[in-house]
Structures are given as C-alpha cells and as structure tokens.
Amino acid sequence: MKTVLVTGANRGIGEELCRQFIDEGFWVIGAGRSEEELEKLKARFNSNHLETVVMDISSIQSIMRATGELRDKTIDILINNAGELSASSKLEDSDPAETMRILNTNFTGSVLVARAFVKQLQKSEDPRIINVSSGMGSRSELGFGYGAYRLSKAALNLLTIQMDQENFAGAKVFSVCPGWVKTRMGGSGASLSVAKGAEGIVWLANSPDAESGKFYRDKHIIPW
Ligand SMILES: NC(=O)c1ccc[n+]([C@@H]2O[C@H](COP(=O)([O-])OP(=O)(O)OC[C@H]3O[C@@H](n4cnc5c(N)ncnc54)[C@H](OP(=O)(O)O)[C@@H]3O)[C@@H](O)[C@H]2O)c1
C-alpha cells in the first residue's frame, strides 16, 4: 500500500485529496496545524486508512516534530498543498508582514517540508513530490494584484525545476495548478468543484506518463 503525505489536509483541496487517495487505496497521512481540526477531519472520514500529524509548515520546530513522529514511515508521495492567499493589492501597497508570511508559508514551508522528509521519500520505489502551485504564479499569466501570492507560487515553480535538476530524494517532482476551485481560498464563485480540482493532483501521483520537472493543469503540461 502506497503512502501519501498531504499538507493542509484539514479543509479545501487538501481534505478532498485525502478523500480521493483513501478511495484509491492509499495510506493517507493528513497534516495540519491544528490538532482540533485534524480530529474533526478524522471524525468526518472515519477511515482506518487515515492518520494525521500536526505540522505548521511555517515553523521549523513543528516540521521537525512531525518528521520525528513519522521517522519510520516510507513516504511515496509528498503533496505540498498548504497555502495562503495574499491580499489583492498591488505590491506597492502590500503589507510587509503579510508578504513575509505568504512567502514563508507557500514557498519556504514547502522547501523545508520536502527537505525534512528526504529519508522517508528515499525509501519509496517511486517517490513523487507534488507542489500545488497556481496559474497566478505562471510567467505567462502574471498580472495585476495578489503580488505576494504570485511571487510565492512563481518561486514554488522554480523549486520544482531545481529539485528535478538535483534529482531531489530520487523523486519525480511536479508543479500543478488545480484550477479555480470552490474552497475558502477560491471562493464560492470558482468554476471547479474540489473533486475536479483534486483530480489532476491525484493523477500526478499515479500516472506513469507524468513528466518530472514540469508544470501541470488538468493532466496537461502548461507553460511556466
Ligand atoms: N482554490 C483555488 O482556486 C486554488 C487555485 C490555485 C491554487 N490553489 C492552491 O491550492 C492549495 C490548497 O488551497 P485551497 O483552495 O484548498 O485553500 P484553503 O481552503 O484556504 O485551504 C488552505 C489549507 O492550507 C492550510 N495552511 C495554511 N497555512 C498553513 C501553515 N502554515 N501550516 C499548515 N497548513 C497551513 C490551511 O490550514 P488552516 O485551516 O489551519 O488555515 C488549510 O488546510 C494552496 O496551495 C493554494 O494556493 C488553490
């Protein structure tokens, strides 16, 4: 049975990823920063294929604690899903504390989590790291506003390329944009259901054809 570790698992796309991976027969480790929310997640699923771990990806201590708890595991798939949206303002009007928080969570947090789980990934026969990015971080789609968020996702995309170049943990590494998805982040006006948004991510975890070091949306490679 393959094991997947999903960050930001307590709601939104992360929760749906847990649902779809359980249905696909994976052992699922759902990570979140609130123990209470993780307990609620477990109660909602009531599945013996789900375990949870407290991990705030903006805290090195919290990441190291989670790594310690999971030290004996093999992790086949790591999904850097946890993320936060910045205010819609232009960079010149942005709040410095918010900019630091967004870059720290969306980008640095993903680097540190991947680094922390190298040993567990190396035990897998087909390790994969999936960085949940956004079209808003694509050079071809950069636009007005949400500057910190766009920069954090552009940096996350570069992380995907760097990891692929380094053969990081021997893993295939992907960036993926889930599309515009109805979650707390995406809002109720978004075009896609969480099920549809998670589908392309689950595909990357399973597909023998998915190409490492590329940016995907809806199972197709898109430009950086
Ligand atoms: N929804 C969209 O339209 C869309 C489009 C493109 C990309 N994405 C990306 O998809 C991913 C999931 O987004 P979503 O739409 O599901 O958003 P969401 O519903 O707002 O969920 C975000 C998740 O990230 C977690 N999180 C935030 N900061 C964290 C931290 N420091 N440590 C651990 N967990 C943290 C949240 O936990 P708490 O509950 O504790 O806050 C929550 O579980 C994000 O990376 C987002 O950028 C979403």
pLDDT at 89: 85
Tokens at 51, concatenated: 């375990």
pLDDT at 87 over 90: no
- Residue minimizing CA distance to atom 28 of ligand 1: 83
* CA of 219 relative to ligand 1 center, distance in Å: 21
pLDDT at 204 over 90: yes
pLDDT at 163 over 90: yes
Residue ranges lining ligand 1, Cβ < 6 Å: 7-8, 10-14, 32-34, 37, 56-58, 81-84, 105, 132, 134, 177-178, 180-181, 183-186, 190
What percent of the chain is modeled with pLDDT above 90?
94
Q: Which residues contact 121 (CB under 8 A, 6 or more apart)?
A: 75, 76, 78, 127, 129, 169, 170, 171
Q: Which residues contact 37 (CB under 8 A, 6 or more apart)?
A: 10, 11
Q: How far apart are the first and last CA of the chain?
A: 33
Q: Check: CATH 3.40.50.720 for 3-221?
A: yes
Rounded to the nearest 5 degrees, what angle is found at the Cα of 134, between the Cα atoms of 170 and 118? 20
Alpha carbons 31 and 132: distance in angstroms, whole number: 15
The CA radius of gyration of the chain, in Å to the nearest whole number, is 16
Question: Phi first, then psi: what are they for 153, rounded to 5°?
Answer: -80, -35
pLDDT band per the 50, 70, 90 thresholds, residue 144: confident
* CA of 72 relative to ligand 1 center, distance in Å: 27
From the alpha carbon of 192, which atom of ligand 1 is closest? 3
Tokens at 55, concatenated: 């991990």
Residue whose C-alpha is closest to residue 137's, from 105, 175, 100: 175
Alpha carbons 149 and 75: distance in angstroms, whole number: 28
Q: Count Cβ atoms within 10 A of the Cβ of residue 139 and give its class: 0-12 exposed, 13-18 middle, 19 or more buried.
A: exposed
When mean pLDDT is compared across 103-107, 114-118, 134-138, 139-143, the lowest value belongs to 139-143
* CA of 106 relative to ligand 1 center, distance in Å: 9
Question: Phi first, then psi: what are they for 17, rounded to 5°?
Answer: -60, -45
pLDDT band per the 50, 70, 90 thresholds, residue 162: very high
Alpha carbons 158 and 172: distance in angstroms, whole number: 15
* CA of 40 relative to ligand 1 center, distance in Å: 17
CA-CA-CA-CA dihedral for 205, 201, 81, 197, to nearest 10: -160
